[in-house]
Amino acid sequence: MSEKLNIDEQIAQIDTSIEEQNKRIARGENLVKLFSKPEFQDVFIDGYLNEEANRVFQLLTSPRVTKPEEVNSYLSQLDTIKNIGRYLGDGDYPGTVAILAINAKKELEELNRIKQELLEKVGE
């Protein structure tokens, strides 16, 4: 009885992990859909990640910017843009979302294999 209970607990943990991996996979798929939308490309990729980053950089390097708080503000904005770019990635660089989705697919296969083995043990 205790072995079956242990197996049931393991299966429950695996099911929770499977749900988490499926969320990561779905998020990666949703990102692909977003990237295919011209409006997203225009507003966010071109507008924010590229043009806004250039605008802030130009302000940062302006000779009129001399106050430390202004410099820190611009550096902070550039850090934010950089981090969002890393999270989303682009056509040539797989960002965090894509990397997590790829790893989740691999993990999902392994979790399903382990779950199947456990289910077979319960059936014996």
What total of structural domains would you count in the chain? 1
Per residue in 3-28, is it b (16+ CB within 10 Å) or e — as a string? eeeeeeeeeeebeebbeebeebbeeb
* pTM for this prediction: 0.80
Give the pLDDT means over successive 10-residue stretches in the chain (124 positions): 75 95 96 94 94 95 90 96 93 89 95 92 73
Continuous H helices in the chain: 2-35, 38-40, 53-60, 68-88, 96-123
Give the span between the Cα atoms of 43 and 50, in whole angstroms.
10
Task: List the domain range (segments joined by +) for residue 42.
Answer: 2-123
